[in-house]
C-alpha cells in the first residue's frame, strides 16, 4: 500500500504537468497569489517571507470541498494525522509530525482552546464547526518561543470572520445520510466606526456505532448534535485604535460507547459538552506607525458531563462524571517597526487555569468514587521575536521565550528560521531550528492517589522537544505551479508517562523524522490541483517500537474546477498507510497493525439564482471499511445535499 501512495503521487504530478501543457494557449493567466500569514510571527507576514512550514486553508477551500468541521478540514493537511474514536462528534485529536495530540496548540482568533481539565490538557476538535471560519493556518514544528506551552508539535489557528462593507446575510442548510441535518445563519457588515459578525450553527446526526460493527455486540448507532453561537464585534475608538470583542458559546451532546472492540456497545451512555469563550482586545498604532500595541484579555470556560445509567445489557453497571475548567489569560504584545525591513516583537503573558472533576460508579464490585478538588496553576511568559529582511532576499526571524510555571518551574525556548529567495528562478530555501515545552497538566500534577498507588506528581518537570527542518519551495509558470519539499526531525524528552507504582513520571523519550512533498497547480482560472505526501517515522527511544496511530505514509490529492463558467466540481482522495495500535479487549493489550485505507470524495455546487447555490457532497465513495482507532467505527459511504445563500 505504501508503494501505491507513491504511485498516486507520481500520477498527480503527471496530471499537473499535462494540465499546464494543455493551458499553454491560455491568453489570460491567473494572477500570482500573495498570501499573508498571521500565525508564524504573530504579525501579518507575506507568505514568501515565512521560513516555517505552514498550510493555509481558506474559506474558498472549505466551501469548494464541502467541509463541515475543523476536524474534517484537518484530515488531508500535510504532516497531520487525525485520530477520532468513531463517527461525527466522537473525540478527535491531531498529531503533527508524529507528536502527541496534546502537543498541538489550538487557537481561535489567537485565543487558546486546550482544555485544562483534560488529563493531558489536549483539545477535542469534534465540537468546532466551520460556520464562521474565514481561514485556518496550520504551523508545523516547535512553536513555544511565541506560543508557550502545548506548542511542541505545532499550532492550529482558526481565524473567524469580521464584518466588512454593507450588511449581508448568509444562510445554508443541508441534509443527508445517517439522519444528518445542519443549518447555518450569518449576519455581518460594518458602518461608521463599528463592524459586526454574528453566526448561528446547528447540526445533528444519528451517526454510526462508535464501537465498530465489525465486532460482535455492536449494533446501536451513536448520534451527535451541536448548537454554536458566535459573535465578533469591532469599534474604531480613535485614529489607529480598534477595540474588538469575540464571543462563542457551544452546547453539544455525543452518544458514546464504553470502549472499542467486541461488546463495547452501550445504548444510553452520553457526554454533554458546553463551553463559553470571550476575548477582548485593544489594538493601537502610533501616528508615526512605529509602535503597535495589542492588549488582550480572554476567558475560556468548559464543562463535560458523562451519564451512563444501567440498561438491559449492563444491569449492574452505571457511571456519572462531571469535569469543569476555566482559563484566564492576559497578553500584551508590542510590535516595533524599526525600519520597513526590521520588526521587533516583545510581549508578556499571564495565564491562570483551574479545574475540578467528580466521578461516581456502581458495579458488581460495589460503588466507587473519585474526586479531583478544585485546583489551579499560573504561568508567566516573556517573549521576543526579531525579524529582519536583507535586500528583499534574505528573511530571518529569531525568537526567545522564558516561561515560569507556578509548580513545574521555568522553561527557556528559542527558534531561528531563515529563508532565502532566488527571484530569478522563483526558488525559496528555508530552514528552522527550535525548541518547545509543555507544562504538566493539572491532573498530572494533582490527581489524588488510589489504593493501587499514587497518580498525581507535583514534582513533574515540563516535557521538552528540539526540532529542525530544511525545505525547498519552487515556483514555476508564473507562480501557477508550486513545488515543496521539507525534511524534518524532532527529539522529545522528559515525556510524562504513567507508572502503576509511581504515578505520573518524566520518563518518556521519542523521536520523529520524515519528509513532506507538496504540489499545487492553478493551470487556468477556476482550476486547482493539489497533491501532498507525508513520509513519517515516529518511534519510542526506550523500546525502539513505532509510536501508535501514526501512519508511515499519507497521501492526499484534490482537483477542483469550474465547469461551464458556473458549476464548481471538486474531487479528493486521502490515503493513510498502516499504523500500529493496541487491542484493549485482551490482556496484556497486544500490539496490532491497522491496515491502510483510501477515501474518495466528490463535491458539486451549482448556481440557481443570484447568490443562491445548490450543492452535493459525496464522501467515502468506495464505501471503505476502516478503523481510525482499533475497535472504533467510521462512516461508510455518505452523502449530503443542501443550499447556500449569500447576499
pLDDT beneath 50, residues of the chain? 1-34
Query: Per the structure, how many domains does the chain have?
Result: 1
| The pLDDT of residue 586 | 85
CA 85 to chain centre: 16
| The pLDDT of residue 262 | 94
| The pLDDT of residue 390 | 96
Strands 291-308 and 612-619: unpaired
As given in the structure block, the three cell numbers for residue 127 are: 465540537
Q: Encode pLDDT of 492-512 as tens digits.
A: 999 999 998 899 999 999 999
The single-letter DSSP state of residue 632 is: B
Cα gap 545→548, rounded to integer Å: 9
In this structure, the chain runs to a length of 647
Helix (H, G, I), strand (E, B) or coil at 196: strand
What does the angle CA 10 – CA 14 – CA 16 come to, to the nearest 5 degrees?
115
| The pLDDT of residue 452 | 79
Identify the CATH number of the domain in which residue 422 sits: 2.40.170.20
As given in the structure block, the three cell numbers for residue 508 are: 518518556
Within 13 Å of residue 259, how many CA atoms lie on the same side as its CB? 8
Cβ neighbours of residue 101 closer than 8 Å, sequence gap 6 or more: 83, 93, 94, 95, 120, 122
| The pLDDT of residue 9 | 39
| The pLDDT of residue 3 | 43
User: Which single residue is written with the C-alpha cell 499504523?
Assistant: 579
Q: What is the pTM of this model?
A: 0.93
User: Which single residue is written with the C-alpha cell 515545552?
Assistant: 437
Shortest CA distance to 607 belongs to which of 63, 48, 162, 138? 63
Cα gap 364→622, rounded to integer Å: 44
- The whole domain housing 271 covers 2-646
SS (H, E, C) 89-146: CCCEEEEECCCCHHHEEEEECCEECCCCCCCCCCCCHHHCECCCEEEEEEEECCCHHH
Inter-CA distances, 334 with 155, 242, 299, 348, 537, Å: 21, 15, 21, 9, 39
Q: Encode pLDDT of 539-572 as tens digits.
A: 999 999 999 999 999 999 999 999 887 899 999 9
Cα gap 451→291, rounded to integer Å: 58
Given strand 53-58, what is the order of strands in its sheet? Answer: 53-58, 133-140, 154-160, 104-108, 111-112
Cα gap 457→239, rounded to integer Å: 51
CA 544 to chain centre: 28
Cα gap 315→381, rounded to integer Å: 51
Neighbours of 527 (CB within 10 A): 18
Amino acid at each position: 500500500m505504501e508503494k501505491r501512495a507513491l504511485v498516486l503521487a507520481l500520477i498527480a504530478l503527471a496530471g499537473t504537468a499535462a494540465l499546464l501543457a494543455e493551458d499553454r494557449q491560455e491568453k489570460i493567466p491567473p494572477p500570482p497569489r500573495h498570501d499573508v500569514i498571521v500565525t508564524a510571527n504573530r504579525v501579518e507576514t507575506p507568505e514568501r517571507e515565512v521560513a516555517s512550514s505552514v498550510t493555509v486553508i481558506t474559506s474558498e477551500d472549505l466551501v469548494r470541498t464541502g467541509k463541515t468541521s475543523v476536524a474534517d478540514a484537518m484530515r488531508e493537511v500535510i504532516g497531520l494525522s487525525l485520530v477520532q474514536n468513531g463517527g461525527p462528534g466522537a473525540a478527535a485529536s491531531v498529531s503533527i509530525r508524529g507528536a502527541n495530540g496534546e502537543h498541538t496548540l489550538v487557537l481561535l482568533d489567537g485565543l487558546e482552546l486546550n482544555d485544562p481539565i483534560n488529563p493531558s490538557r489536549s483539545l477535542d476538535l469534534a465540537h468546532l464547526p466551520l460556520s464562521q471560519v474565514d481561514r485556518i493556518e496550520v504551523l508545523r514544528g516547535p512553536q513555544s518561543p511565541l506560543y508557550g506551552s502545548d506548542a511542541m508539535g505545532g499550532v492550529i489557528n482558526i481565524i473567524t470572520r469580521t464584518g466588512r462593507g454593507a450588511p449581508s446575510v448568509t444562510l445554508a442548510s443541508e441534509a443527508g445520510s445517517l439522519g444528518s441535518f445542519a443549518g447555518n445563519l450569518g449576519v455581518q457588515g460594518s458602518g461608521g466606526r463599528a463592524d459586526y459578525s454574528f453566526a448561528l450553527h446547528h447540526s445533528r446526526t444519528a451517526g454510526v456505532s462508535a464501537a465498530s460493527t465489525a465486532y460482535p455486540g455492536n449494533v446501536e448507532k451513536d448520534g451527535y448534535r451541536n448548537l454554536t453561537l458566535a459573535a465578533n464585534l469591532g469599534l474604531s475608538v480613535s485614529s489607529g485604535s480598534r477595540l474588538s470583542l469575540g464571543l462563542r458559546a457551544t452546547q453539544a451532546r455525543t452518544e458514546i460507547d464504553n470502549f472499542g472492540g467486541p461488546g463495547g456497545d452501550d445504548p444510553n451512555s452520553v457526554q454533554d459538552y458546553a463551553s463559553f469563550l470571550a476575548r477582548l482586545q485593544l489594538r493601537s498604532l502610533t501616528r508615526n506607525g512605529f509602535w503597535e500595541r495589542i492588549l488582550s484579555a480572554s476567558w475560556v470556560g468548559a464543562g463535560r458531563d458523562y451519564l451512563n445509567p444501567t440498561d438491559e445489557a449492563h444491569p449492574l453497571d452505571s457511571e456519572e462524571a462531571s469535569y469543569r475548567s476555566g482559563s484566564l489569560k492576559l497578553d500584551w504584545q508590542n510590535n516595533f517597526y524599526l525600519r520597513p525591513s526590521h520588526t521587533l516583537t516583545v510581549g508578556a503573558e499571564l495565564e491562570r487555569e483551574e479545574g475540578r472533576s467528580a466521578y461516581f460508579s456502581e458495579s458488581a464490585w460495589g460503588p466507587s468514587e473519585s474526586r479531583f478538588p478544585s485546583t489551579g496553576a499560573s504561568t508567566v511568559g516573556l517573549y521576543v521575536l526579531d525579524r529582519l529582511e536583507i535586500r528583499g532576499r534574505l528573511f530571518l526571524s529569531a525568537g526567545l521565550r522564558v516561561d515560569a510555571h507556578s509548580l513545574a518551574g521555568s522553561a527557556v525556548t528559542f527558534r531561528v528560521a531563515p529563508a532565502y529567495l532566488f527571484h530569478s528562478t522563483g526558488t525559496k530555501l528555508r530552514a528552522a531550528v527550535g525548541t518547545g515545552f509543555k507544562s504538566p497538566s493539572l491532573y498530572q500534577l494533582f490527581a489524588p492517589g488510589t489504593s493501587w498507588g499514587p497518580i498525581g506528581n507535583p514534582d513533574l518537570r515540563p516535557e521538552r522537544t528540539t526540532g529542525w527542518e530544511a525545505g525547498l519551495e519552487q515556483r514555476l509558470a508564473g507562480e501557477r505551479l508550486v513545488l515543496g519539499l521539507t525534511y524534518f526531525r524532532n527529539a522529545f524528552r522528559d515525556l510524562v508517562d504513567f507508572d502503576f507504582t509511581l504515578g505520573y513520571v518524566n520518563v518518556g523519550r521519542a523521536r520523529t523524522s520524515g519528509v513532506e512533498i507538496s504540489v499545487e497547480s492553478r493551470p487556468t482560472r477556476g482550476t486547482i490541483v493539489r497533491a501532498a505526501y507525508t513520509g513519517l517515522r515516529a518511534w519510542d527511544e526506550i523500546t525502539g517500537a513505532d509510536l501508535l496511530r501514526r501512519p508511515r505514509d499519507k497521501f492526499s490529492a484534490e482537483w477542483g474546477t469550474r465547469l461551464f463558467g458556473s458549476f464548481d466540481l471538486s474531487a479528493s482522495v486521502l490515503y493513510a498507510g498502516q499504523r500500529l495500535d493496541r487491542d484493549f479487549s485482551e490482556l496484556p493489550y497486544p500490539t496490532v497493525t491497522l491496515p491502510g485505507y483510501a477515501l474518495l470524495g466528490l463535491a458539486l455546487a451549482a448556481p440557481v439564482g443570484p447568490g443562491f447555490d445548490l450543492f452535493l457532497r459525496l464522501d467515502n465513495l468506495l464505501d471503505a471499511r476502516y478503523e481510525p482507532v482499533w475497535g472504533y467505527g467510521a462512516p461508510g459511504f455518505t452523502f449530503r445535499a443542501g443550499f447556500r445563500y449569500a447576499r
